[in-house]
Every structure is written in structure tokens, then in C-alpha cells.
């Protein structure tokens, strides 16, 4: 269910990626650093807010969505679905960052970040999913643990990617808009439901 709603916000990202790649590559070729920075900033922040707006609007209504779509027996999965509704917020930023790194020929950092993320993902999944009574004990969180891992690991890896891009270009790395924007939009979503 969460993936179906996430696909709506990814439609905007997919439609922008090819144009973004072309514009970034062209501006980079012309050594127009101001345009490169402006394009990256506007597109990544715009898609972040579009994804966050949709997700934060739906999160307060997760139980109702589950009841209407799957029936009352699935309402208990609301926390897992609510967490997974946050996944597309950073997914679009990851796609924009990856496209930026490809368009500027910086595939090395992109590859290293991807490998590091995969290296952290498997042990993290085990620790969150494994039973507390296992030989190597885990948290036994089940589906909620997997949702937490997906959302948190993606947010961290995307922000590492944004940090690498900012440092390579000499730009200031900014994360405050994500925290403030997500908090404000989630508060507005809750206020709308109330």
C-alpha cells in the first residue's frame, strides 16, 4: 500500500531526471558553476518537498487507508505503513544525487557510497530483525524493523551523497531544510486530520 502511494511522488522524479541530467551535463561542460548549483539545489529541494508533502499528508490517515483498502484486520500495520510512506521523501533526492554524479562524471564516489550503504544494510537488517534469543541477538522488530532500516539508511546515505556533492563543488552542505520541512509538513498533516 505504501509503495503504491510512493509511486505517485516518484512520477515527478522520473519525469525530471532526463532533463536534469542534460542540463547539468551541459552547464558542467560550459563551466557554469552557478547554473549547476542552482539546478541541483532547486530540483533536489523541490522534489524533496513534493515527496514530503504527499507523505506527510497521508501519514496521519494510515489506519483509515489500511481499513479502506485492505480491511480492518490490517489496521495494526499502520506504523509500518506510516514509516514506509517516508521512504519516497529521500528516494527522489537519491535519484537526483545519483543523476548529478553521473552527469558530472563522478561515478567513483557514487559507487563507493552505494557499496558502503550495501555493506551497512545487511548487518543492520539482521540486528533489527533477528530474534533476541538468537545466537547473535537482534531486536526482533519484524516488519517495523525493516521499515525503520529502509527509511533511516536511505536518509543517511542520501545525505552522505549530498554531502559529497557539496564538498566536491565547494558548496555549503545544508540539511536543515529537510528537518524543518519534514517536521512542519508532518505537523500540518496531523493538524489537517485533527
| pLDDT number for residue 1 | 77
For residue 136, give the DSSP letter: S
Q: Which residues contact 184 (CB under 8 A, 6 or more apart)?
A: none
Residue 184 CA, chain-centre distance (Å), reads: 17
User: H/E element holding 34?
Assistant: helix 33-58
Low-confidence ranges of the chain (pLDDT < 50): none
Grid coordinates representing 63? Answer: 489506519
| pLDDT number for residue 148 | 96
- Reported pTM: 0.87
Question: In 10 A of CB 10, how many CB atoms?
Answer: 17
Residue 69 CA, chain-centre distance (Å), reads: 25
Amino acid at each position: 500500500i505504501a509503495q503504491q502511494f510512493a509511486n505517485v511522488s516518484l512520477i515527478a522524479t522520473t519525469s525530471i531526471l532526463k532533463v536534469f541530467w542534460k542540463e547539468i551535463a551541459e552547464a558542467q561542460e560550459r563551466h557554469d558553476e552557478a547554473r549547476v548549483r542552482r539546478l541541483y539545489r532547486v530540483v533536489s529541494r523541490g522534489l524533496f518537498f513534493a515527496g514530503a508533502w504527499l507523505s506527510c499528508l497521508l501519514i496521519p490517515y494510515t489506519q483509515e487507508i489500511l481499513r479502506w483498502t485492505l480491511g480492518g484486520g490490517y489496521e495494526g500495520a499502520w506504523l509500518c505503513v506510516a514509516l514506509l510512506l517516508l521512504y519516497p521523501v529521500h528516494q527522489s533526492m537519491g535519484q537526483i544525487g545519483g543523476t548529478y554524479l553521473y552527469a558530472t562524471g563522478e561515478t567513483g564516489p557514487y559507487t563507493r557510497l552505494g557499496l558502503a550503504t550495501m555493506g551497512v544494510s545487511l548487518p543492520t537488517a539482521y540486528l533489527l530483525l533477528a530474534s533476541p534469543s538468537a545466537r547473535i541477538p537482534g531486536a526482533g522488530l519484524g516488519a517495523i524493523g525493516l521499515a525503520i532500516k529502509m527509511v533511516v539508511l536511505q536518509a543517511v546515505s542520501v545525505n552522505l551523497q549530498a554531502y559529497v556533492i557539496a564538498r566536491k563543488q565547494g558548496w555549503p552542505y545544508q540539511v536543515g531544510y529537510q528537518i524543518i520541512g519534514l517536521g512542519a509538513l508532518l505537523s500540518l498533516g496531523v493538524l489537517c486530520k485533527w
